[in-house]
Amino acid sequence: MPELPEVEFVRRQLQPAMARQRFRRVDVHRPDLRIPFPPQFAARLTGRTALAVQRRAKYLLVPLSSGETLLVHLGMTGWFAITRGRMAPGRHDHVVFQMSSGAIVTFSDPRRFGLMDLIPRGEIERHPALAALGPEPLSAGFNASVLARAVRGKKTSLKVALLEQGVVAGLGNIYAAEALHVARLSPSRRASTIASPSGEPRDAAVRLVSAIKRVLTDAITRRAEAYTGGRFRVYDREGEHCRRTGCAGAIRRRTQAGRSTFYCPVCQR
């Protein structure tokens, strides 16, 4: 499933094709993806202007001139293709947006785990997909104090806590493992240990916030879709030597909350 850097990369691709452009035509080729399309989906978009293309966690948000907001989740296999010429839709091309910019924006999703919804004016914060999200990891609002308060008293492991979307929005399995390695923190340590009993951040919380911002920024900079296993520090590197200079450890894998976690048992404490 695409993680935050991949979604941010898609957002940056869509921005010049869609932002401040009008939906000249919308073709929907099936009644649903993961969930049904909202009533009159195409009609509610046609003629409206996309004011921007934004991201919240792993969701794309397109505020419209009508006051509604188009919400998109890519699911496991969803992607957008941007072309200038109209072509016959392929088998997995489910939604086609013709923009006033001349761009044809096609959403394809072979497994149909993605979704699209229209959120009424003023209801974004109450939408089920967005209501419980925590701070954006790349925002100024996400800092060591915020993280420490979020994990204070938590008995779960640090890695599992980072995957809770109410703790930090959009941080997924791969980049949580990468950030923990950068910060030299074991994924198995109790989450509450990075905070004092009163919820003040310890040095570990400062290091972890810095690491999260670093690995996400690096992934986006490297063009997220090209951020392959060859560039990861620990993810999918079971049995390989740790890449930290001077560390003699080898990467191990374990399962946490049904997800594979990769880590170095020597330098991550």
93 domain-assigned: yes
Domain boundary residue, one of 126, 160, 175: 126
Which residue, chain included where needed, has tokens 């869609």? 18
Q: Is residue 137 in a domain? A: no
| Alpha-carbon span 62 to 51, nearest angstrom | 7
179: left (phi over 0), alpha (psi -120 to 50) or beta: alpha
Query: What CATH number has the domain bearing residue 231?
Result: 1.10.8.50
* Report field, pTM of the whole predicted structure over 0.75: yes
Enclosing H/E stretch for 96: strand 93-99
**Is residue 139 one of the residues assigned to a domain?**
no
State phi, psi for 106 to the nearest 5 degrees. -115, 130
Query: Annotated active-site positions, please?
Result: 2-3, 58, 259
pLDDT tens digits for the chain (269 residues)?
789 999 999 999 999 999 999 999 999 999 999 999 999 999 999 999 999 999 999 999 999 999 999 999 999 999 999 999 777 788 999 999 999 999 999 999 999 999 999 999 999 999 999 999 999 999 999 999 999 999 999 999 999 999 999 999 999 999 999 999 999 999 999 999 999 999 999 999 999 999 999 999 999 988 644 444 457 999 999 999 999 999 999 999 999 999 999 999 999 99
Total tally of structural domains belonging to the chain: 2
DSSP secondary structure code for residue 139 in this structure: S
Domain contains 201: yes
Given a contact cutoff of 8 angstroms between Cβ atoms, the answer to whether 75 and 7 are in contact is no
Residues 100, 179, single domain; the answer is no
Q: Which domain holds residue 229?
A: 144-263
Tell me, yes or no, whether 9 and 117 share the same domain. yes
- DSSP-derived 3-state class of residue 248: coil
Whether 148 and 254 share a structural domain? yes
Distances in Å between the alpha carbon of 62 and those of 110, 142, 180?
A: 23, 23, 32
Q: What is the largest CA-CA distance in the chain?
A: 61
Q: What is the CATH number of the domain that holds 122?
A: 3.20.190.10
Q: Which of 126, 152, 178 is the last residue of a domain?
A: 126
